[in-house]
C-alpha cells in the first residue's frame, strides 16, 4: 500500500478510474485466461465441467447459484473468487458502504466530499476484505440483510426518524463493492428472499419507508443443496429468475480424482508422513467406500455422500496404523486391509440412512460398505471367485480352500505386530502363489498386503467364512463350519 493516494485530490491525479465489481472481475478473468492462469487452486475434478461454467458466468456479469449436494466444494469455490478482485480499491474514509471516492453512493460520502473536496481522506480496501459470507438460517431477518432504523442511535444523536443517519445498514449494503455469499439459500424464509429482488435486479435497497435509492455494487454468489428444495425450504421462483447462472456441482467422476482430493485434503502429522506407508490399494478402497455409499440401497442418495467421508476415513486409517505401531513399539508400518476396521467411525456420521438402513443400524451399514468396496475392488485384479469355484481343473483358489478345509484357521488381529501379521498370512498354503499368478511384480510388504486382500475377498464371495471379532477377524472353511454347527445342534 506504499505510495497509494491518501486524499481525493491525489486519487484524481492518479490513473484510477471507477468500475463496477462485475467489470473488475471480468477484466481480471480475461487477463488470467489470456495468460493461461487458473484462479482456482485445489479444486480437483471440475476442470472441464464446473470451472468453465463459472468463468462463462463471470464473463457474462451474472450472479451465480452453485447448486449441489454437500461436500462438493461450493464454499471453497466462492472464497477463491476473490482472486479476480483488484489487490486494493479506494474508499471514502469512515464510509459504512465502502464508497468509491470518485463515485460515492451514500449520503454520508456525498456530504463529506462536498464539505472537504479534494482534501477528503481515503483509505484502501484489500481484496480479502471485500469478501462477505452469510449462512442462511431460518432466523435471519430483513434487518440483518438489508437494514433498519436504529432507535438507540436516534436517541443518542437526538435525530429525527426522518434523518438518514438513524439507519443501521445490514450486511448487504456494507458489502458494497464486494463479493457477498449466502450459503444454503433455500433455508432463508420466503419473505426474506423477496427482500433480495430489488438488489439483484436494480441493485438498490429500500429501508423502512426511506426513499433511498442506493445503487449497490455487489457480486452475489449463492450456494444451495437440491435436498433443501423438498425437505426444508425452496428458492422462490422470482428469485431464481433473477440469478443469472445456476451451476451444478458434482462428486468425483472416478476413483483417481477422488484419491487426489483425499490426498490433498487429509491432515497428516509429520510422524505419519515419515513412518506410515499407505499403498495405492488401501487408498483406492477408501475412495471406493464413498462410491459404494452413493449407490447403496441403505443410504439416502438425495442427501449425498460428502467428500469429507473419504478424507476423515483416510485420517482414521492413519490413526489406526499409528496406534498399532505405538502399542508394538514399531518405528514404521504399512496399511493393512484389517486396518479398514478403524475407519468405520468415520463412515457412521457421514451418511444419511433410509428406513432400511436405520433398521440395519449405522455400524452394520458402515461395515457393509467396507465389505462391498473390497468385493468390488477384488474383481479389478482377480478372476470372479464365484466362477473359479466351479472350475475343477487347475483352480488357483483350490489350494487355499484345501488349507482351510483341513481345519486350519487364520486370525488377523488389529493389534498384531508386523512379524505376527506376516507369519499368519504366510502359513496359508497357496495364498502367495495365487497372488503371484495375477500380480507377478509384487513382492515384500506389498505381496503380504495383497495376500491379506485375497483372504478378505474370498470371504466376501463366500468361499471362506469370516467371523468378525472384537479384536480383528477370523477366517475358516465355510463348509466345515456349517457341518460343525449341524453336529453341535444334533448333539444338543
d(CA 346, CA 284): 16
Which residue blocks in 353-443 are alpha helix, DSSP H?
A: 355-360, 362-378, 385-388, 398-405, 418-426, 431-438
Query: 2.30.38, 3.30.70, 3.40.50, 1.10.10: which CATH number matches 8-135+175-248?
Result: 3.40.50
Architecture of domain 251-380: Orthogonal Bundle (1.10)
d(CA 301, CA 293): 8
Q: Which of the residue ranges 309-313, 377-381, 392-396 would you say has the lowest mean pLDDT?
A: 392-396
pLDDT category of residue 192 using cuts at 50, 70 and 90: confident
- 324 has pLDDT over 80: yes
- 1 has pLDDT over 90: no
Span 21-41, pLDDT tens digits: 999 999 999 999 999 999 999
pLDDT category of residue 491 using cuts at 50, 70 and 90: very low
d(CA 456, CA 463): 10
Q: Beta 167-169 vs 333-334: how paired, if at all?
A: unpaired
- 485 has pLDDT over 60: no
Retrieve residue 197's grid coordinates.
Answer: 429482488
Q: Can you give the pTM of this predicted structure?
A: 0.86
Span 174-188, pLDDT tens digits: 999 999 999 999 988
Go through the chain and tell me how many residues it has.
492
Sign of CA dihedral 138, 143, 145, 146: positive
Q: Where are the domains of the chain?
A: 8-135+175-248, 251-380, 382-492
Amino acid at each position: 500500500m506504499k505510495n497509494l493516494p491518501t486524499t481525493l485530490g491525489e486519487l484524481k491525479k492518479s490513473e484510477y478510474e471507477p468500475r463496477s465489481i462485475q467489470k473488475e472481475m471480468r477484466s481480471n478473468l480475461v487477463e488470467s485466461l489470456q495468460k493461461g492462469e487458473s484462479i482456482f487452486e485445489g479444486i480437483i475434478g471440475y476442470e472441464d465441467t464446473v470451472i468453465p461454467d463459472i468463468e462463462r458466468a463471470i464473463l457474462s456479469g451474472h450472479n451465480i447459484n452453485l447448486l449441489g449436494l454437500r461436500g462438493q466444494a461450493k464454499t471453497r469455490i466462492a472464497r477463491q473468487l476473490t482472486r479476480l478482485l483488484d489487490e486494493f480499491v479506494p474508499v471514502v474514509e469512515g464510509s459504512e458502504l465502502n464508497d468509491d471516492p470518485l463515485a460515492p453512493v451514500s449520503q454520508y460520502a456525498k456530504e463529506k466530499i462536498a464539505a472537504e473536496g479534494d482534501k477528503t481522506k481515503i483509505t484502501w480496501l484489500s481484496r480479502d476484505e471485500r469478501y462477505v459470507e452469510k449462512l442462511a438460517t431460518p432466523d435471519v431477518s430483513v434487518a440483518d440483510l438489508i437494514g433498519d432504523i436504529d432507535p438507540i442511535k436516534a436517541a443518542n444523536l437526538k435525530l429525527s426518524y426522518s434523518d438518514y443517519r438513524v439507519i443501521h445498514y445490514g450486511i448487504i449494503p456494507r458489502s458494497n463493492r464486494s463479493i457477498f455469499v449466502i450459503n444454503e439459500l433455500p433455508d432463508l424464509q420466503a419473505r426474506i428472499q423477496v427482500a433480495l429482488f430489488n438488489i439483484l435486479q436494480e441493485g438498490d435497497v429500500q429501508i423502512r419507508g426511506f426513499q433511498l435509492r442506493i445503487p449497490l455494487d455487489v457480486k452475489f454468489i449463492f450456494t444451495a443443496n437440491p435436498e433443501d428444495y423438498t425437505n426444508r425450504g425452496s428458492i422462490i421462483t422470482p428469485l431464481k429468475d433473477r440469478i443469472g447462472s445456476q451451476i451444478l456441482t458434482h462428486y468425483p467422476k472416478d476413483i483417481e480424482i477422488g484419491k487426489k482430493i483425499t490426498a490433498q485434503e487429509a491432515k497428516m502429522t509429520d510422524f505419519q508422513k515419515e513412518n506410515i506407508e499407505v499403498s495405492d490399494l488401501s487408498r483406492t478402497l477408501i475412495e471406493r467406500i464413498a462410491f459404494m455409499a452413493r449407490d447403496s440401497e441403505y443410504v439416502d442418495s438425495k442427501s449425498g455422500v460428502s467428500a469429507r467421508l473419504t478424507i476423515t476415513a483416510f485420517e482414521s486409517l492413519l490413526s489406526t496404523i499409528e496406534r498399532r505401531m505405538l502399542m508394538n513399539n514399531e518405528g514404521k508400518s504399512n496399511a493393512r486391509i484389517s486396518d479398514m476396521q478403524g475407519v468405520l467411525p468415520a463412515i457412521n456420521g457421514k451418511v444419511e440412512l433410509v428406513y432400511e438402513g436405520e433398521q440395519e443400524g449405522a455400524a452394520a451399514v458402515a461395515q457393509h460398505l467396507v465389505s462391498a468396496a473390497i468385493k468390488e475392488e477384488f474383481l479389478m485384479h482377480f478372476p470372479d471367485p464365484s466362477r473359479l469355484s466351479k472350475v475343477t481343473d487347475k483352480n488357483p483358489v483350490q489350494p487355499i480352500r484345501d488349507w482351510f478345509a483341513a481345519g486350519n484357521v487364520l486370525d488377523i488381529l488389529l493389534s498384531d505386530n508386523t512379524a505376527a501379521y506376516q507369519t499368519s498370512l504366510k502359513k496359508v498354503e497357496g495364498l502367495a502363489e495365487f497372488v503371484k499368478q495375477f500380480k507377478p511384480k509384487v513382492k515384500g510388504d506389498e505381496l503380504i498386503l495383497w495376500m491379506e486382500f485375497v483372504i478378505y475377498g474370498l470371504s466376501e464371495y463366500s468361499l471362506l467364512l469370516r467371523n468378525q471379532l472384537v479384536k480383528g477377524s477370523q477366517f475358516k472353511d465355510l463348509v466345515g463350519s456349517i457341518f460343525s454347527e449341524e453336529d453341535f445342534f444334533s448333539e444338543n
